[in-house]
Amino acid sequence: MKSRIVIPTASGERISYDIATHHGHTGSQLRIVLATNEEPFERWLFYLLREVGAHVVTDAPDEFRRKLGLGESEAGVVDEHAVDALIDSTTT
């Protein structure tokens, strides 16, 4: 699963961080990949960032929602394939 969080800034720019899945002895865990380390990416952090306009772009939205414990129709999780199709339709 390939995922990233896209966070808008006050100046109108967007910053993006990869979200990786790590498998350990207690199961798999989502982690946000920062410049110098990785930190757990948990549901509360998703909700907090979504409140400021962030969203997750992923190639497996159902799997991402399941791993984070979100409902099937939870807002803020975007299918990467839908984004690619939208970009393709605006450039042709």
pTM: 0.82
What is d(CA 27, CA 31) in angstroms, rounded to the nearest whole number?
13
In this structure, are residues 81 and 19 in contact, taking their beta carbons and an 8 Å threshold?
no
SS3 66: helix
Q: For 10-37, write each residue's pLDDT tens digit.
A: 999 999 999 999 887 777 889 999 989 9
